[in-house]
Chains A and B, each alone.
Chain A
């Protein structure tokens, strides 16, 4: 187990990157604390897998350093890093039995035969494949194969970190939940440093203590699920996390008021005069519908009842504003205004969050 430090790390797949756009992974400084479970969340192609492969040594970064417990491993090959990694699509050794597949990483490191036997039994139990141990891996279903891949990832107890690259993509939904729970309990039991890459926010938020949100090759925010929800550091985090995502509106902010398309609203906090492209972001949970003259004028387009609450889609001069209304609330066509709870208003300048001035 180890603390993993990334120092000014960046990677480009081009031999001579000229500008920032050429980098798949932009300069990054970060510590992954020993024994924590992290999720790396972002849309496809945002550099998640690149970062993971750099940590495991499958890729060498174009610049910067990686330290395991303050030891520089930037150029060390994968085999010297003692990392376990599970990939998006199942990788099994077809001609081996399930048992030999699970034992493979241990045997390659010269582990004792009796230890291997016990450990394989334990892992097989965990992934629910005890009855299939003596079958050939060839011809198993995709989820069985992926369970073997997960098992091979978890079989070593002394790894520095366990990396998962969207490992549950091919697994059935009910099994997904079960395996995720097992990974979580495994984490509690052994306290490995775990990094879990996914594009599924539910997966990220339920698995990890801390979630790093990546966007265009950059970690835009790293925080607890609550921090990501309440104070998204970047408008992308606002969009990406939450269902539906945060409403983002162009605004002109002065002090504690904002003017949005001619309507003035109160922000409740002091923000000075941010420059650049100024926007305000409000999660649908902090917006409510009203009748009257207060708030932003909207027209209701559609109401979606999702069971626990209603999602109201409204139109504000061509921009969509989403509102989450409690299940019992009666939505009427007369409702023509939306008001925001000031606790949930964030201000953004050039997509980055502006912290309110202390009162």
Chain B
């Protein structure tokens, strides 16, 4: 059979190409453009080569922000993933209470980020906030605007409050798809509760759990709004994560070149980690024989 050759067919992908160009490629390229130039205002730009990248690589400020960022993501993942799974395991399986739980669980997910920030900002205030006032009243020294630990704990608890539901809902969906026969067989085999979790539930929810980890990692690694509203990155720089630092650099100090170099590296880190997750996930699927 002879295939018809028609090069005009290439034009059919033009709309997609344009869409991707305007939505992703062009904005990214402007950042690349800034990252290799320097400006002293008046819209005059000078070629700077890889200077900004070199500067950023040796910048203590960026490494500190990256360190805080990794610590933040690691801590919230270490809390939210096990906690979410634990919540999912203890949710009712069906009936009225199951529906009620689902609705309650999705509530935090529906609240806009800066509203979450505002809620916790007020909630934690020592003078009028329920949490801050109560803690002070029972003699605990808590002030997130001045104390390093208080600030970190507040930001982490806020994120756990906001996002554990997502993990729980995904894990719950995974658990619901396990046929009853597995639990019945486990009873017949006299498996303990732990073994049921270890050999039935965990393997069956592994797929959705990887997605949950990936989503939570990406979101937490890019977190900006909530800590910015609550602590503004303080006290000092103690809760200045990568995005907050980036905005300070780009808009606060108007250091466009370094900020652009910084964003590109930031983007590459997220891309790299996501790629690793993706590879792990597809390998899990392969082991399943799909």
Contact = CB atoms under 8 A, between A and B. Distances in A.
A100 to B, nearest CB: 9
B190 A138 contact: no
Interface stretch (B55-63, B178-186, B216-224, B228-236): B178-186
B200 A84 contact: no
B188 A85 contact: yes
B116 to A, nearest CB: 37
B95 to A, nearest CB: 12
A351 interface: no
A171 interface: no
A138 B289 contact: yes
Given A91-B181, A95-B203, A139 B289 contact: yes
A138 B207 CA distance: 14
A215 interface: no
Nearest to B179: A89
A62 interface: no
A169 interface: no
A94 B288 CA distance: 8
B189 A87 contact: no
Given A95-B199, A96-B199, A89 B189 contact: no
Contacts of A84: 188
A109 B192 CA distance: 10
Interface residues of chain B: helix, strand, loop or mixed (majority): helix
B188 A78 contact: yes
Interface in B141-171: none
Contacts of A247: none
Contacts of A136: 287
A153 B185 CA distance: 9
A332 interface: no
B187 A78 contact: yes
Contacts of B200: 93
Given A87-B184, A139-B288, A139-B289, A93 B190 contact: no
Interface string B9-46: 00000000000000000000000000000000000000
Nearest to B189: A105
Contacts of A77: 187
8 contacts: A83-B188, A85-B188, A87-B184, A91-B179, A91-B181, A93-B200, A95-B199, A138-B287
Given A78-B187, A136-B287, 16 more contacts: A53-B184, A56-B188, A77-B187, A79-B187, A83-B188, A84-B188, A85-B185, A91-B184, A93-B200, A93-B203, A94-B204, A95-B203, A104-B199, A108-B189, A139-B287, A152-B189
5 closest A-B pairs by CB: A139-B289, A91-B185, A78-B187, A105-B189, A108-B190
Interface of A: 53, 56-58, 77-79, 83-85, 87-89, 91, 93-96, 104-105, 108-109, 136, 138-139, 149, 152-153
